[in-house]
Structure 1
């Protein structure tokens, strides 16, 4: 099919919404015969009839309904584009967020909380690896990426990493497993659930080397949601920020050992320099 003529498509859309050729011709200041010719040309280009005539009314065929649906979206997108560039318009564009697939769901919810219930904004949330998400951010397919590490300079891109939170990493589990007088005893006697996330794992390896402990690791986990579930099922003690298990800690299902591990996990919102950033983004990353 040759390139679509959007003038023909626009005239078709106007007639489809009016359902009356004469009325549309008057409104768009075009003769009825010229308007009919525009629609016939579009039908020939598409290879399908778009209207059936019922009396003096034009009724969309099945293909006509499909074409109208696409036309509405095409021209609505164009209107949003103009509004965005003019920084005007009643509706905001969707906020496209990428989140590391291993990132705590509770942290993601905390980041999104100011937007929850805001009817004027739509959130598109995608998860994946850091490399894939940052490439999407660089190509402007995403507005922001949530991660636990700033981007490496090796991947290029004009990124800015906003540190929006940091959490102490602790030891969490069912109360019965936490009854040890020393950190050494706890780490050497209880089964452990350890995330593979680099800052936590590096800090944990340093901790056990310093204490001279050979731990019993029952799960190496690359998903914080699974860390949470395994701790709930009493498979072992979780080495994680409290935000990962916030609901269980609040209700008393899980507790936190009274030891300072001296491990910190930071959370970043990564953006890329652009001329037209999403209007709500500055408020989210500056908290």
Structure 2
């Protein structure tokens, strides 16, 4: 592979971020044919395809997505430096790209990003994905951090990744307001219907273990692996559920649902996962520091 041509890389970056060759050529004041030639030269120097054509659209390949992540870091920092040198001021705003596990509690996510809401010089985007796509996106620099309720363990963790515990939420039995059993578990829960996390989740494993200790067999009406769906089922079916109270805090505040009991020594943990970089956005550093306690 020949030495990287940053001029060609910049052209690739503009096309990839705009998603349109014609518009990129117009903004760069070059012809489409010249721009296409520059990108082909970059692909030849890298010995890989960066784009594939889908009809009249250019679509990034898997390698192209990864190259775009690095190009974002390179040229966004370059534009900040140019602004500082020319005008003696910091860039107008800082951008933060956050990936979130699609099954996580939206209330927890809302609480995490709350410090960003009133910062006029911060822009952020949220992207819901499955765990594998989140980790791939983080590795490819598509995200600055990801939020998950599953820790990145040594078995599936690249040494470049860093995981920070943000919070541990107790797991509780939640049900309709005014229907809390007057006797203790399990006697007061005989004949109750349940909507529960699916069997492959850590929350369900913890609840099943708790039931086994009491020789209790729950009557499971429905299952869901998505916290938003579990929240709706708990609200609308009249059945009991097991989840962190933060998930249904609005329903509890309105008196629709009620916390019946807290499961002893059972928690759901929430993590922020980042990748080691030479430069870390100040807004990201500050955000994680606010949640480190």
TM-score under structure 1 normalisation?
A: 0.70
| Cα distance between partner residues in 2 of 1:258 and 1:4 | 57
- The aligned counterpart of 2:77 is 81
Deviation, structure 1 residue 193: 1.5
- The aligned counterpart of 1:185 is 187
Deviation, structure 1 residue 277: 1.8
CA deviations over 1:174-218 (Å, ceiling 9, x no partner): 124322411103443211111137321121111011000011111
- Secondary structure in 2 aligned to 1:110? helix
The structure 2 residue matched to 1:262, chosen from 265, 268, 274, is 265
- The aligned counterpart of 1:74 is none
Q: Does 1:115 align with 2:111?
A: no
CA deviations over 1:241-263 (Å, ceiling 9, x no partner): 00000111112111111344431
The structure 1 residue matched to 2:255, chosen from 247, 252, 256, is 252
- Secondary structure in 2 aligned to 1:97? strand
Contact 1:188 1:216 (C-alpha < 8 Å) held by counterparts: no
Contact 1:80 1:93 (C-alpha < 8 Å) held by counterparts: no
Deviation, structure 1 residue 45: 5.1
Contact 1:100 1:147 (C-alpha < 8 Å) held by counterparts: yes
CA-based RMSD of the aligned residues comes to 3.2
| Cα distance between partner residues in 2 of 1:257 and 1:5 | 58
Deviation, structure 1 residue 229: 0.8
Deviation, structure 1 residue 4: 11
| Cα distance between partner residues in 1 of 2:188 and 2:270 | 28
| Cα distance between partner residues in 1 of 2:252 and 2:100 | 24
| Cα distance between partner residues in 1 of 2:181 and 2:277 | 52
Contact 2:252 2:258 (C-alpha < 8 Å) held by counterparts: yes
**Shift in alpha-carbon separation, 1:80–1:43, aligned structure 2, 3 A:** closer
| Cα distance between partner residues in 2 of 1:93 and 1:227 | 35
Structure 1: runs of 5+ lacking an equivalent: 7-15, 18-38, 47-76
Contact 1:169 1:241 (C-alpha < 8 Å) held by counterparts: yes
Q: Does 1:223 align with 2:226?
A: yes
CA deviations over 1:110-129 (Å, ceiling 9, x no partner): 00000013232211111111
**Shift in alpha-carbon separation, 1:45–1:265, aligned structure 2, 3 A:** closer
Q: Does 1:92 align with 2:93?
A: yes
| Cα distance between partner residues in 1 of 2:210 and 2:10 | 67
The structure 1 residue matched to 2:173, chosen from 155, 159, 171, is 171
- Secondary structure in 1 aligned to 2:282? coil
Deviation, structure 1 residue 93: 3.6
- Secondary structure in 1 aligned to 2:109? helix
- Secondary structure in 2 aligned to 1:201? helix
Q: Does 1:275 align with 2:278?
A: yes
Q: How does 1:199-214 map to 2 (within 5 A)?
A: 199-214=202-217
Runs of 4+ aligned residues of structure 1 deviating over 6 Å after TM superposition are: 3-6
| Cα distance between partner residues in 2 of 1:153 and 1:222 | 24
Residues 276-285 or 123-132, more deviating: 276-285
The structure 1 residue matched to 2:239, chosen from 212, 236, 261, is 236
Structure 2: runs of 5+ lacking an equivalent: 1-7, 12-25, 36-72, 85-89
Deviation, structure 1 residue 150: 1.2
